[in-house]
Structure 1
């Protein structure tokens, strides 16, 4: 099997396993807190039906494995807010329902904090300029210069270099920073140089004839990672970084919403400049979102190829994102369900089964439309 195909398949499998685990522990949080608050947990399922396997445990809960690997679920007795029998979710107090609904959010947040704590011990990627660390217990390490991408028909690509290659030296001159590579290639423009690099851990070298020009003499974009390592302060770094990333995620969602709204309404403007700016905002919104195909088909394979630390980091970020998303007042998500319950409680109106089902159905339909739109965008990106 071609190594590229293997990496994609392995990445997809890794992504499915990670996503199933993160959603399953989220749902398990709901189930545990529900039982502790007197609500009967009827079933805890991994994946979605049709069923592949089911067993009734000693505590009366049905544990099931299902064929669709899209996460997991818990089934509570009397899940509608209007249910009133003993053991029903609907019969729980407002405070008990709040704890049950937010339990999944808390579990995902804790999982993110634990994963980031582990990474702080072995090397936590530094992606924020002001990323938290304890100066007295911080070792900042820098990775090699990596070719993020190579430009077709330019020297790097013509020589056979590929994205992901790690540059070691040029004509014996060790390369330790992107700026150093840029300066070295500019100084040697028009010449043929020997580039030493590693690909998938294997050392190699290529003869590259640089362009005799003022710009793009090599033809690639560059990146370099930095990692924070800690010892006794790792738990502090893990929790604090989770808080930082939570805020950054919220800001990112706000920017996404702003780009989406201004982009949609800007398209209605008669002014051509405004419409052009609106199109840019819509493009930015589309580029910042990834759906199932983007996550499983592109992001996870890239992370899997980079190494286990990158997979753990991606899992932490996704867990954190699940936590943030489920606090939003979107019907069919935890935050939306709580918001609807709270709204009817404040208005002192009864939330009937019919009303609740209608609200959740509308919310679910909107979410599915968004998933379809984002998935189409993912497919489009794959074929660009």
Structure 2
């Protein structure tokens, strides 16, 4: 057998064992029972009639094509593994998910209502970012809330997802107020989490009088100022261990498409709009809104965020009312903060402290 072909097969087996060690099911094509036979095959493939220099060179040349082949075979083998399926309506072991349409002054707002098995006293409405939708990389934060016994309402903002409305101002604020109104009819305590654009909308609606028990904002910009270099910098932040760990939840093909959409949303978001996102964020006046808040406030920003730069997050912090909590996450950017497990757990714990019966007492 040619040396390169031996090296290619050997490197694929190495990748398979690394995928097993990392528990990256989405990058794996074999079953555990097959692993001992793969180890034997690796020993048999080891070339014995070549120098160490030739072996190392062959493995180096096979590394990249082997990775592509590994990803392709694993993608086909695990094509049904998709973390987004966890947000499909239905009855699950730990929660119930219902697809609803919330009445609006004009038309309706599509939403997913996720409730833990035990009857929750508190709920959180989640407003996504620009170019996203209600199920856009929200399964981790949804699980973080469910683990605290908090129900979650995931909504499509105007102009996004399944919403029949277009992005306008001030009508966009109704997405926040109507979500809270709907939750108030079902829960004693209601909080809100706004991500990026959703954070700007949530802050403005709360400043204008929307009654909340707690408000969390992640990576919301005071204004938008970024270019292609910033987009490239953001794309590089995807190379983080906690992002690669998504392969435990999705196949490499599903994950690749989802990450492509995540990056593309920064350049060419799919939005039906009468006002641009840039102008909408300016109209929401994040810093001015924060200065008028009297609700418990949690702020989270990434130190590697190239869209909302560090000086902008500091501007937000200075505008926040006294008593607000703010965290800066060293290894997170604009695209990845919503995927950062420790940040999501800390945010959910903070929200639970302000929404549970213990906090009321």
Q: TM-score, normalised by structure 1?
A: 0.26
Would you tell me which structure has more strand in proportion to its own residues?
A: 1
Q: Compare CA radii of gyration and give the structure with the larger one.
A: 1
Q: TM-score, normalised by structure 2?
A: 0.27
Would you tell me which structure has more helix in proportion to its own residues?
A: 1
